[in-house]
Chain A
Amino acid sequence: MPALSPSIPALRDAFGDVIERALVSCGDTIAYVRRDRAHDVLAWLKDTPGQEFDYLTDLTAVEYRDPERPLEVVYQLRSLARRADLRIKVALDREEPLEVRSVYDLWRGADWLEREVYDMFGIVFQGHPDLRRILMWDTYVEGHPLRKDFPLRGHFSRAEQTRQALAANPEAHYSLEELSIAEAFHELPRDMRERLRRGERGFVR
């Protein structure tokens, strides 16, 4: 039986019963966190010395087939410095609105991940700066495809789906920044502009 991550006792000391339960599954430690304090726990995990989970590997959600079970939002964290992983889960009761606080302010990479979860599951991330669909087009009205009550082929007939898809005007739904990346060149930091001018595509620190 692999041991729990040492982050769990530290979390329990700091947050007490906010950590609902913790278990080990396939060698990975999973901690269930109460929804109202989830953001505090994640911020603590990111910033506390000795934890330093500075990298959000993935953010996703799970809906189980059992209609009684709550939906879960899953945060897969990684500490690049300590080479340690931790999985945090937040259960969302179906009776209440599916809402959880955005972690965009902690990890910028959560931006598109939260948009994807919103698109596929309809979970609203409060405080997200730009919460709109990312995989389906903006005018998509059939629902959130990865929910269990969503039929595999969608709600509408194929003709109606095709009609709506052809009527979508893709250019109309991109933000100005997305359409004018080239025009934003002069707003980049000076060193980045110089690297781009030299044709450099990236660098390793």
Chain B
Amino acid sequence: MGLTGPAVRRPREELASVSAMSPNWITTRLDFLTNWARANSLWPMPFGTACCAIEFMATAASRFDLARFGMERMSFSPRQADVLICAGRLPFKLAPVIRRIWDQMPQPKWCISMGACASTGGIFDNYSMVQGIDTIIPVDVYVPGCPPRPEGLMYGILLLQKKIKGESFTDDSLREERPVGPDGLYLPPDRVDELSEPFGNSISQTRSA
């Protein structure tokens, strides 16, 4: 499995796609380089809807200074963003909005779900709230807390950087777009129901109560 071997016998046009190759010395070095660059220049798209956004602003401000982690620029346009940070609860009314923002972000892209409400619906287990944004868009890192302290968000960002540094060119599934399907959901309906199940104190409440 080196440069010599199958690569020599392939026509040139097949070699044009690096991702078509199996992992070898060149791709792993390229992976290292691109992942190093990607992980250390994440431009966040802040989607702040509630109190988590206040902690997010504190994280970005001078005391905690997100710029130390390469997040120098908040990208308020999804077209120039790498990581969507959903800071706060997401009502159903905003579900099509965050879905469109996610669809507008170019690959490679990641998502951090900041706080209990974005991750699970939190205390808002009611008619108007999305029970976890992972029923709407794929999520890479969940940051617990209500709201998480800036240290918590930074730990989530460091986890995301670690995850990015483990990615590989040759794995196309990482960059696969998962659009909303013909049934109007991006996950199977029973999966959405399962993710939205009540938990904690609210399990004793029935749907009809």
Contact = CB atoms under 8 A, between A and B. Distances in A.
Indicate, yes or no, whether A interacts with B.
yes
Interface of A: 135-137, 142, 145, 150-154, 157-170
A139 to B, nearest CB: 11
Interface string B145-186: 000000000000000000000000000000000001001110
Contacts of A168: 93, 96
A166 B95 CA distance: 6
A166 B127 contact: no
B185 A136 contact: no
A159 B192 contact: yes
B126 interface: yes
13 contacts: A135-B93, A152-B127, A152-B205, A153-B126, A153-B127, A153-B198, A158-B131, A159-B192, A160-B189, A161-B92, A166-B184, A169-B96, A170-B93
A153 B192 CA distance: 15
Nearest to A156: B127
Contacts of A170: 93, 96-97
A163 B183 contact: yes
Contacts of B95: 162, 165-166
Nearest to B126: A152
A169 B100 CA distance: 11
Interface string B91-135: 011011101000000000000000000000000011110110001
A107 to B, nearest CB: 27
A67 to B, nearest CB: 16
B208 interface: yes
A165 B93 contact: yes
Contacts of A166: 95-96, 99, 136, 180, 184-185
Contacts of B13: none
A170 B100 CA distance: 11
Q: Closest 3 A-B residue pairs measured CB to CB?
A: A154-B127, A158-B196, A159-B189
Interface of B is mostly: loop
A150 B128 CA distance: 12
Nearest to A142: B127
B96 A153 contact: no
Contacts of B209: 151-152
A172 to B, nearest CB: 11
Nearest to B196: A158
A162 B127 contact: no
A151 B93 contact: no
Contacts of A169: 96
Q: Which of A135, A142, A151, A158 has the most CB of B within 10 A?
A: A158
B135 A158 contact: yes
Given A136-B128, A145-B127, A166-B99, A153 B92 contact: no
A167 B205 contact: no
Contacts of B193: 157-159
B116 to A, nearest CB: 17
Given A162-B185, A169-B96, 10 more contacts: A152-B209, A154-B126, A154-B127, A159-B190, A159-B196, A160-B189, A162-B136, A162-B196, A165-B92, A168-B93
A164 B185 CA distance: 9
Give the interface centre of B127, B185, B190, B205 by most chain A CB atoms within 10 Å. B127
Nearest to B90: A165
Contacts of B205: 152
B207 interface: yes
Contact of B185 (A135, A137, A145, A159): A159
Contact of B208 (A151, A157, A160, A162): A151
